[in-house]
Chains A and B, each alone.
Chain A
Amino acid sequence: MPASITVEGLSKRYRLGQLAGGYDTLRDQLAALGRGGRRARTEEERELWALRDVSFEVQPGEVVGLIGRNGAGKTTLLRLLTRITEPTGGRAILRGRVGSLLEVGTGFHPELTGRENIYLNGSILGMRRSEISARFDEIVEFAGVERFLDTPVKRYSSGMYVRLAFSVAAHLEPEILLVDEVLAVGDAEFQRRSLGKMEEVGRSGRTVVFVSHNMATITRLCSRALLLETGRIVGDGAASELVARYLTAESGSQAHRTWPPDEAPGNEAFRLHGVRIVDGDGRVASSVDVREPVGVELTLEVLRAHVPATPWLALFNDQGAHVFSAMDTDPMWERGADQGIHVVTAWVPANLLNEGTIFVSVSMNSFRSGGKAERQLHVDDAVSFLVVDPAEGDSARGAYAGSWPGAVRPLLTWSRGVRRQDGVAERR
């Protein structure tokens, strides 16, 4: 039996401007300020190989997970296999009916009713009209929207909307299914059901290629994984082994970085000599327990005394979301520091970050009148580290083991009270 998917030397090159668009809006301008030299960097590179000479085969019935840090080429590979974009070189052959799910509810139209959207979305995903009709009742039942079939979906709650959208997709039943992270939606109960449905798909002999940032989902659903790094496959094997390797290897995080004196980023006033991620004992930590505080330690050299500038951090998660920014508010920086080496550590409290890889950008900024900032030095993604949850029940996720979306995951204090008969709330 021939392989379901054969990929030979597949490559994709993006040219300048295709990835980093112009800054057209004020919002983009602001995002650029936080993101720093990203645009300048792509301009230097001129072109970027998002995927380079990738080859592999997937046998019928295999469930393969694609893992790797952001920008490693997972999504590009999936976009090529789903034919959304064309390769620059190489080729891929897919044998069998292909279904792709890059998001839930592709093409849903808010003005149309649930019934109409089932047909619309189903057709867009590649189902025939007759197939949709045959599975219509199943789809509606799985989504639990019987009563709202003839209501425009713009009046649906977001939960109903996602359930209906996932339900159509779940009944697609192709031989080759290409999926991107669609499970990170909906409430916990629905996620459990959709994960179950995905497992069912995996067991039913279909070939599945699955991209996710959630390593727990990968190990649960996939038998095999491909590890990508800067557009190439650097690992191919059992999912559990590769996930472990990814989580521990340097490819997943780089928690300690130093520069030789002549290459240290900065200007004539400030230089950054090193950045380290440290745990409570001051040791370098590439992965940190979500329940422990984590320190970002900067080694800064002040070459010119008394230049007012403040150290800044910007944290991004592996989906590119800007988690938060922080600056050292010590008035010493505003007055201007003395010459010499300064070591400062910013402590991120325990139980704040969500699980996953966190990338830290570092800068020194001087403030000017009118709310403008002048950048003295900036390093994008200077260091990164992995936030892990040993899932012992005392973190913010409690006993729940499923996907947990959100930029942060604080452990909140929940107070409890009872409402008395006379309507006065009593706090306990």
Chain B
Amino acid sequence: MIADASLAETVRPVVIEPSRGLLRINLAELWAYRELLGILVWRDIKVRYKQTAIGVAWAVVQPLATMIVFTLVFGKFANFPSQGLPYPVFVFSGLLPWLYFASSLTASSMSVVSNVNLVTKVYFPRVLLPLAAVSVPAVDLLVSSVVLVVLMLWFGVAIGPLAPLILVFLLLALATAFGTGLFFSALNVRFRDVPYIIPFLVQIWLYLSPVIYPVSALPERWQWVLSLNPMTAVIEGFRWALLDRPPPDPGKIVVSAVTAVVMVVAGYAFFRHAERQFADKI
């Protein structure tokens, strides 16, 4: 038994009252629950690899198969430009962050409803659910990046000197998925149509991101419009840092980054507002 007498003085009183304010960011509380975040991530990874028959191989098969189809359709038949790279390497380097983003977005949008047994039975900052959901697909990303390395070796594409910068762009992808996921996971509690919207949204979003084509293939005016999609900066930045391609326009990166920040802040505000009724509505 652990003596709790001393704890009484250290634990701050919990005040329960109707919440006010838009964002109500409580960093101290989130920090206090960091272990639970870790456990939720660990649980999802564990379950994912236990339940699927070929486990880790999915993280290789899915992007590889997609890459082959895209290479045949867009690289061979349609003859899309590829920034002077072999098309398989070009498209795979876009698919890598894209698939991470797509799984994160999907998982985080379902996160609150799929944890209904927790939401109705125990308190914790609900925001941990979408946050854990966007972290889990990073494991798949890590596995499938091995495939990219193999492809680069095969086609003799050298790694760029700024390669570590891809982490910054992945963080941007995470933020975008998190912001969108916050919005949809809260919406999903009230409207169970969300599971039907997400695959549709992901598909449209794919074609609005420079996965199968380079941004440079578009007219200048449209390049600016496209930069409103944070995934544009993520994928362009990824190719720039990892494969030593021409650097993206800093102005457009700023536009993408600002969009992502706005999405997170707006998504968070919406989530915190909706959160108050999760347990009543779910």
Contacts and interface: CB of A to CB of B under 8 A. Distances in A.
A109 B47 contact: yes
Interface in B28-50: 35-36, 39, 43, 46-47, 50
B53 interface: no
Contact of B124 (A89, A94, A124): A124
27 contacts: A18-B280, A80-B16, A82-B122, A84-B119, A85-B277, A85-B280, A86-B16, A86-B276, A87-B18, A88-B18, A89-B18, A90-B17, A96-B13, A97-B4, A100-B122, A102-B121, A107-B117, A107-B118, A107-B121, A109-B43, A112-B43, A119-B39, A120-B39, A123-B35, A123-B36, A124-B124, A175-B4
A409 interface: no
A100 B236 CA distance: 48
A91 B19 CA distance: 10
Contacts of A120: 39, 43
Nearest to A110: B47
Given A102-B122, A109-B47, 20 more contacts: A18-B277, A79-B279, A81-B16, A83-B123, A84-B121, A84-B123, A85-B280, A91-B16, A91-B17, A92-B17, A94-B16, A95-B11, A96-B4, A96-B13, A97-B11, A112-B43, A112-B46, A112-B47, A125-B122, A173-B1
Contacts of B16: 10, 80-81, 83, 86-87, 91-94
Contacts of A97: 4, 7-8, 11
B193 to A, nearest CB: 13
B28 to A, nearest CB: 15
Contacts of A100: 122-123
A96 B11 contact: yes
Contacts, number: 111
B2 A131 contact: yes
B36 A124 contact: yes
A14 B16 CA distance: 18
Contacts of A94: 13-14, 16
Interface in A100-154: 100, 102-103, 106-107, 109, 111-112, 116, 119-120, 123-125, 128-129, 131, 134, 152
Contacts of A174: 4
The 4 closest A-B pairs by CB, nearest first: A91-B17, A83-B123, A123-B39, A92-B16
B5 to A, nearest CB: 9
Given A82-B122, A97-B7, A111-B51, A14 B280 contact: yes
B120 interface: yes
A98 interface: yes
Contacts of B43: 109, 112, 116, 120
A84 B122 contact: yes
Interface residues of A, number: 45
B221 interface: no
B76 interface: no
B8 A96 contact: yes
Contact of A116 (B17, B46, B119): B46
Nearest to B280: A18
A383 B210 CA distance: 69
Contacts of A82: 122-123
Interface of B: 1-2, 4, 7-8, 11, 13-19, 35-36, 39, 43, 46-47, 50-51, 117-124, 276-277, 279-281
A94 B2 CA distance: 20
Interface of A: 10, 14, 18, 79-98, 100, 102-103, 106-107, 109, 111-112, 116, 119-120, 123-125, 128-129, 131, 134, 152, 173-175
A152 B50 CA distance: 10
Given A124-B36, A124-B122, A111 B14 contact: no
A95 B15 contact: no
B122 A173 contact: no
A358 B276 CA distance: 34
Nearest to A60: B8
Given A84-B279, A86-B276, A107-B117, A175 B50 contact: no
Contacts of A129: 35
Report which residue of A103, A131, A152 has the largest number of chain B beta carbons within 10 angstroms of its beta carbon.
A103
A90 B11 CA distance: 22
Contacts of B279: 79, 84-85
A92 B13 CA distance: 10
Contacts of A92: 15-17
Contacts of A116: 43, 46
A265 B276 CA distance: 39
Nearest to A134: B2
Contacts of A125: 122
Most chain B CB neighbours (cut-off 10 Å) among A84, A92, A112: A84
A10 B15 CA distance: 12
Given A80-B16, A82-B122, A120-B43, A111 B8 contact: no
Contacts of A96: 4, 7-8, 11, 13
Contacts of A10: 16
A141 to B, nearest CB: 14
A358 B2 CA distance: 44
Contact of A98 (B2, B14, B280): B14
A212 to B, nearest CB: 17
Contact of A103 (B14, B39, B51, B121): B121
Contacts of A123: 35-36, 39
B15 A91 contact: yes
A280 to B, nearest CB: 44
A82 B122 CA distance: 7
Given A103-B121, A111-B50, A18 B281 contact: yes
